[in-house]
Amino acid sequence: MMLPTHAVTGLALATPLVVLAPDLAPGALWGAVLGSIVPDLDLYAGHRRTLHYPTVYTLLAIPAVGIGLVSQHLLAVGAAAFLAGAAVHCRMDRYGGGLELRPWEGTSERAVYDHVRGQWRKPKRWIAYDGSPGDLLALIALALPLLVVLEGVFRGIVAAAIAVGMVYVGLRRWLADLAPVVFGYAPDWLSRYVPERYRA
């Protein structure tokens, strides 16, 4: 799924604390949104493998959430939310399409790499691909309640995610055609950082 959907999902995970524990909510919201974004920082360095750890994040998140609940310390809650956001991000990537330039073609059986099992997990394609109309629908369904509940910078993040998501969905297929052209002109020293799928 696209990054705006991941970010809004992270905020949705932590939003109950706005009511249940308002003093801990900012730490949880920041932790969750950052955890939901960080795995995709590997976009140009082994995407969905280098920073994607579907099993490890989950195994770390379970005790971290327990520690956060017991201690109710802002850093512990933020760390737990970060790990939960990262774990859900990796799970969501599996529910989407494969790791390919044109995922609507359904030619890749690689969704996210599981380091514990030492193998790629297959995409389920419940959401056809990142930037699909279904992805946008999921984003909006999650975002609209958050626009009502959240305030300040977090409401701004949700609004920005909707705007970026709408633009990305509108351009998604065009960007897939443009990528090989643009990255085909990358200098040699830079081309090693360009994913193979962008040069196809």
pLDDT (tens digit per residue) in 9-18:
999 999 999 9
pLDDT digits (tens, 9 = 90+) for 66-83: 999 999 999 999 999 999
Q: What is the DSSP string of 53-112?
A: -HHHHHHHHHHHHHHHHHH--HHHHHHHHHHHHHHHHHHHHHHS--SSSSGGG-----SE
What's the pLDDT band for 199 if we cut at 50, 70, 90?
Answer: low
Q: H or E element: which one contains 139?
A: helix 133-149
How many domains is the chain partitioned into structurally? 1
The pLDDT of residue 195: 67
> What pTM value is reported for the model?
0.91
Residue 197 has pLDDT above 90, yes or no: no
Which residue range(s) make up the domain with 90? 3-199
